[in-house]
């Protein structure tokens, strides 16, 4: 547990030392969200109907941006090797890194999405469901992104194919998340998709770190 805290706090400190880079995914998200009304008609009825889908897709795409900070920067300065060799269990240290990445990039996104939802005049009543769905989706999303980063850690220009590797795997997230938001908007019961999101999160947290640790170990060989 000590190792988890050590890695978690170190990663947060390193991330906040270069806080300007943290803004990149957020700005990207805002740009993508503002582009859609330009492309579609700004009539509020249609925007509301498309709103949840647009928000979720924009969130998925912008979460892919802050990828290199996860493993590549550590691999370049040799600290990732030390994590592998450290007496702490690899899955724990990897989970700590994924958690730090989630806090640094996904949490601000999760806070930003409701604001964007308002601009899509999604009714206030739907916001709690939207936030809950986002929170439940964050673990799965950060694990999948971390896996994509780990698989391409030893590639110089690996970033470009992470999207191709990760996005098909995020399709269930997208389906359940957008669905939960739609139900929230129409005021219908949203239990089913939220439970499914929670189940995905549990599965990702259980199996994810093992796959990520294996990918990092192979990547650094």
Partner 1 sequence: MLRAQDLAVWRAERCLFEALHFELHAGQLALLVGPNGSGKTTLLRILAGLGEPTTGVATWNGATIGQLEADERGALAYRGHLEALKRDLTVAENLEFHAALWGGQADCREVLADLKLSDAADTRVRYLSAGQRRRASLATLRVSGAKLWLLDEPTTNLDGEGRAVLRDWTSRHLATGGLAVIATHQPDEFTRSGVLLIEL
Partner 2 sequence: MRLPRWFHQLGSPPHVYRLADRLAPWLGTLGCALLAIGAVWGLAIAPPDYQQDEVYRIIYIHPQTAYVAMMAYVVMAIASGVGYIWRLKVAHAAAVSAAPLGAWFTFCALCTGAIWGRPTWGTYWQWGDPRIMFETLLLFQFLGYMALRSAFDDRDKADKVTAILAVVGVVNVPIIHYSVEWWNSLHQGPTIMRFGSPAMTADMLWPFLTMVLAFTLTFYWLLLRRLQAEIVEREGDARWLRELAPEGAQ
Residues that bind partner 2 (CB under 8 A): 147, 151-152, 154-155, 158, 161, 164-165, 167-169, 171-172, 175-176, 179, 196, 200, 203, 207, 211, 214-215, 218-219, 221
SS3 188: coil
* Contact criterion met (CB below 8 Å) for 91 and 209: yes
CB nearer partner 2, residue 36 or residue 176: 176
Residue 87 contact, options partner 2, partner 1, none, Cβ 5-8 Å cut-off depending on partner type: partner 1
Cα 100 from Cα 12, distance rounded (Å): 6
Q: Which does 207 bind (CB under 5 to 8 A by kind): partner 2, partner 1, none?
A: partner 2
Give the residue among 127, 130, 113 at the shortest CA–CA distance from 59.
Answer: 113
Binding partner of 155, given partner 1, partner 2, none, CB within 5-8 angstroms per partner class: partner 2
Comparing CA positions, the residue from 142, 86, 112 lying closest to residue 27 is 112
C-alpha 207/C-alpha 29 separation (Å) is 29
Of the pair 121, 171, the CB lying nearest partner 2 is at 171
CA distances from 80 to 38, 84, 90 (A): 43, 6, 11
Query: What 3-state class would DSSP assign to 99?
Result: helix
Report what 168 binds from partner 1, partner 2, none; CB cut-off 5-8 Å by kind. partner 2
| 100 touches, from partner 1, partner 2, none (C-beta below 5 to 8 Å by class) | none
Q: Which does 17 bind (CB under 5 to 8 A by kind): partner 2, partner 1, none?
A: partner 1
Interacting residue ranges for partner 1, rule: CB under 8 A: 2-3, 5-7, 10, 13-14, 17-18, 74, 76-79, 81-90, 220-221
Nearer to partner 2, 20 or 160 (CB): 160
Nearer residue to partner 1 within complex by CB, 20 or 160: 20
In the complex, minimum distance from the CB of residue 193 to partner 2, in angstroms, rounded to a whole number = 9
CB of 105 to partner 1, least distance (A): 17
Nearer to partner 2, 31 or 206 (CB): 206
Please report which residue ranges of the chain form alpha helices under DSSP H. 2-17, 23-39, 44-63, 72-77, 79-85, 90-101, 107-119, 127-151, 159-166, 171-186, 191-219
Sign of the torsion formed by the C-alpha atoms of 180, 186, 187 and 189:
negative
Judged by beta carbon, residue 111 or residue 155, the one nearer partner 2 is 155
Residue 12 CB, nearest approach to partner 2 (Å): 27
């Amino acid at each position: 547990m000590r190792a988890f805290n050590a890695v978690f706090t170190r990663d947060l400190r390193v991330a906040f030392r270069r806080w300007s880079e943290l803004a990149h995914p957020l700005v990207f998200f805002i740009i993508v969200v503002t582009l859609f009304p330009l492309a579609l008609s700004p009539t509020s009825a249609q925007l509301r109907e498309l709103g949840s889908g647009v928000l979720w897709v924009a969130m998925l795409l912008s979460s892919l941006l802050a990828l290199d900070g996860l493993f590549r920067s550590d691999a370049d300065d040799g600290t990732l090797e030390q994590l592998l060799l450290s007496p702490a269990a690899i899955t724990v240290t990897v989970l700590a890194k994924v958690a730090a990445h989630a806090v640094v990039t996904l949490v601000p996104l999760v806070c930003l999405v409701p604001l964007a939802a308002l601009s899509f005049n999604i009714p206030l009543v739907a916001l709690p469901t939207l936030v809950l769905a986002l929170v439940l989706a964050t673990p799965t999303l950060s694990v999948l992104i971390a896996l994509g980063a780990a698989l391409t850690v030893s590639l110089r220009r690996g970033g470009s194919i992470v999207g191709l590797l990760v996005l098909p795997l995020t399709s269930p997230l997208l389906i359940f998340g957008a669905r939960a938001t739609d139900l929230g908007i129409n005021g219908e019961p949203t239990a089913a998709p939220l439970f499914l999101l929670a189940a995905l999160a549990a599965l990702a947290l259980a199996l994810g770190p093992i796959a990520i640790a294996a990918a990092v170990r192979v990547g650094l060989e």
